[in-house]
Amino acid sequence: MTEQTNQEFALEVREVSRTFGARKALDKVDFDLPRGAFLSIFGPNGAGKSTLLKVLSTLTIPSKGKARVMGLDVVEDSVPLREKIGFISHNPLLYPDLSAEENLEFFAELYCLENPKERVRELLVAVELDHRRLDLVRTFSRGMIQRLSIARSLLHEPEVIFLDEPYSGLDPHAMDILDGLIESIRDQHTFVMVSHDLAKGLQLCSHALILSKGKIVLFQDKEFIDEDEFAATYRSTVGLGVS
């Protein structure tokens, strides 16, 4: 493992495995992702996509191998690393009994932001929820919850954003807002997305990764992806029709 980290890369994954006993969730996953890229991860259920995301976002540690995100080791530098990563999940990750504003202010405090109140207002406006900021989250629709969740994940201005099936269950309006937000910050940020939506994933990404049974089946820069070949590989691994 080279100790020197390459400033070019957002992700440097070196033979990461995650096993427990006989069970292998990830098996020697190895790849690099340049900064500013958008990685879409595909694969059947149980392939290890969520596990990979968890390892990269410091929620779990690898059993073997090393990984660096923005030059920081996911195990040793996990605390400073967490300041730089954001996570958007299909779970809301919000407290239903607090208001939108209270939720965001809580997380702002966790990240020890400098001007928490202003930052919170700024984001509430950006996701068009400012008018509902005093309402309890339990009164929100699914789309509104997802928008607020997006706001939560961007509070601390992360450099790398992980998305775990972010579009699932969203109405078109919320999807548009998410798309818009991603577009607006596309330039300076790196994205890693797990999605079952092949079309959307391919459209947004600059790099694609297919996982199966914890192993990488395919990792390519989109420029070099042959549409048909990719679709064939995808179909054979994931077993779904190409939409």
Partner 1 sequence: MRRSLFGLTENTWLYLLLSLGAILTSLDFLMAFLVAPVVLGGGVGGTAMIGGIAISNQLLFSQKIFFFHVPVAISSFLVFFFTAYYGVRFLMTKDKKYDTRAKIATEVTLVFVILTLITGDLWTRFEWGTWWVWEPRLTTYFIMTLLVIAYFVLRNSIEDEERRATYAAVFGIFAFMDAPISFAITRLVPSSVHPVVLRSGGGLTGTQLAAFLMGMFGMLMIAWVMFRLRLREEFAGEHIEEIKAALEG
Partner 2 sequence: MAETPKSRMSSWRQFKAILRKDIVMELRTKEMLTSMGLYALLVLVVYYLALAQVGSKFDVGYIAAGLLWLAIIFTSLLGLNRSLVHEKDQGCLDALLLSPIDRPIIFFGKSVGNLLFLLIVEVIIVPMFYFFFLSGQTLAGPFWMLALVLLVGSIGIAGMGTMLATMSVNTKGKDFILAVMFIPIMFPLLYACVGAATGVVMGDAAFVDGWVQVYWRSLGIAAGYDAIMLLAAFGLYEFIIGA
Q: Which residues bind partner 1 (CB under 8 A)?
A: 20-23, 61, 63, 213
Nearer of residues 115 and 203 to partner 2, judged by Cβ: 115
Residues engaged in binding partner 2 (CB under 8 A): 57-60, 79-80, 82-83, 85, 87, 89, 91-98, 102, 106-107, 109-115, 119, 152, 156-157, 159, 188
Instruction: Supply the minimum distance, in Å, between the C-beta of residue 46 and partner 2.
Output: 20
Asked if 165 and 185 count as a contact pair (C-beta separation under 8 A), the reply is: no
Which of helix, strand or coil describes residue 119? helix
Looking at the DSSP bridge assignments, the partners of residue 20 are: 23
The option from partner 2, partner 1, none interacting with 59 (CB < 5 to 8 A, set by class) reads partner 2
34: tokens are 């340049």
Nearer to partner 2, 107 or 230 (CB): 107
Q: How many helices (H) and strands (E) does the chain have?
A: 8, 10
Nearer to partner 2, 97 or 227 (CB): 97
Q: Which is nearer to partner 1, 37 or 52 (CB)?
A: 52
Phi, psi (5° rounding) for residue 53?
-65, -40
- In the three-class reduction of DSSP (H, G, I as helix; E, B as strand; rest coil), residue 82 is classed as helix
CB of 19 to partner 1, least distance (A): 9
Closer residue to partner 1 in complex, CB, 20/224: 20
Amino acid present at 63: S
Q: CB of residue 21 vs partner 1: minimum separation in angstroms?
A: 4
Question: Whose structure tokens read 């994931």?
Answer: 238
In the complex, the smallest distance separating the C-beta of residue 12 from partner 1, rounded to whole angstroms, is: 22
Residue 60 beta carbon to partner 1: minimum distance, rounded to whole angstroms? 9
Q: 128, 186 in Cβ contact below 8 A?
A: no
Count Cβ atoms below 10 Å from residue 167 Cβ, excluding itself. 18
